[in-house]
Amino acid sequence: MKRLYIDRYTGKLERTDLYFVRLTLKDGTVLEDLEPRRLFPITRPNMFITLLDRNEKEAAFVRDLTEIDDASRIALEECFAEYYMIPKITHLLNADEKFGALSWSVDTDRGRISFQIRNRNSDIKKLWGTKRVIIRDSNDNRYEIPDVDALDSHSKHVLFSYL
């Protein structure tokens, strides 16, 4: 099946809703209510973006955010800002291990939050060959530490025994 690739010459995107965009192709065809999704939300957030129609079928595809025009890129970035919530942890305040359950309180770019981690072996993952750490809490919410080395020494100390 042929994939409809969008770049700055073939189509333009406008944000029409919290998470919908409108695609206008060069030939004037308009596709409404497309939902952009990252295909690599963790490893390549700005590349390989699929646009799903109402039936969750792929209608169009953006290979790289740099290949589309600025207005379209901003439209996608705005949608993603709403859709993807992966708070970036800036400080680890405290890790409490009482009763065998692991509970973290952290500062993130979205504010302070506490959460529980169910399985410290599988829910705290350092990405292979990077400094990023992805965390999943007991409710399946995701968190990210973009750069372990950039953390302050207290945070590093708290994190240390879980990596």
Partner 1 sequence: MDAPFLINKKPDDKQLEAIKSLSDAKDPILFAILGDLSGDSKYADCALLVTRERILTYDFSRDECTHSIAFSDIEEIFNKRMYGNGVMRVRLRDGTLHNIFRFTFSVAALCDATVTYVNEIRNGTAPKEAFDTIDATYQKLLSVCPKCGRTLSAPGVPCINCMNKRKLLGKLAKYLKPELPILIIAVIISVITTAIALVPPLLTQTLVDTILPDQRRDLLMWVSILLVVIHIIRYALSGIRGYMLRVSGNKVLTRIRCEVYEKAQHLPMRFYDKTSTGAVINRISGDTATLQAFMLRVTQEVVVQFFKMVGIILVMLIINWKLTLFSLFPVPIVVIGSRIFRQRIAPFYRRIWRRSSAVTSTLTDTIPGIRVIKSYTNEKQSTERFASCVEEWRVTDSKAGKILNAYPAIVNGLIACGTVIIWSFGGNLVIDGMQNPAIANISVGVLVSFISYASMFYEPVNFFANLSDSTQSALASTERIMDILDAEPEHDFGKGNTNADLGGRIEFKNVSFSFDRTKKVLKNVNLVIEPGDIVGIVGTTGSGKSTLVNLLLRYYDHYDGQITVGGVDIRDIDMEYYRSRIGYVQQEPMMFHDTIFNNIAYGDRHFTVDEVINAADIANAHEFIIRQPDGYDSMLGERGVGLSGGERQRVSIARAMLRNPKMLVFDEATAAVDSETEHLIQDAIEHLISGRTTIMIAHRLSTLSKANKIVVVDNGEIIECGTPQELMEQKGKYYRLVQIQSMSDKVAAERRAENFG
Q: Which window, 1-9, 26-34, 61-69, 154-162, contacts partner 1 (CB under 8 A)?
A: 154-162
Q: How many CB atoms lie within 10 A of CB 5?
A: 12
CA dist 18 and 20 (Å) reads: 6
Residue given tokens 């699929």 in the structure block: 50
Closer to partner 1 at the Cβ: 17 or 147? 17
26 is an interface residue for partner 1 by CB under 8 A: no
The 30-49 contact track toward partner 1, x by CB under 8 A, reads -----------x--------
133 Cα distance to chain centroid: 13
For residues 146 and 86, the answer to whether their CB atoms sit within 8 Å is no
- Tell me whether residue 143 is exposed, middle or buried, using C-beta atoms within 10 angstroms of its C-beta: 0 to 12, 13 to 18, 19 or more: buried
**Which of positions 106-145 make contact with partner 1 (CB under 8 A)?**
108, 110-113, 115-116, 118-119, 121-122, 137-142
Tell me which of 28, 30, 70, 99 binds partner 1, using CB under 8 A.
99
Q: Which window, 2-10, 57-65, 68-76, 80-88, contacts partner 1 (CB under 8 A)?
A: 80-88
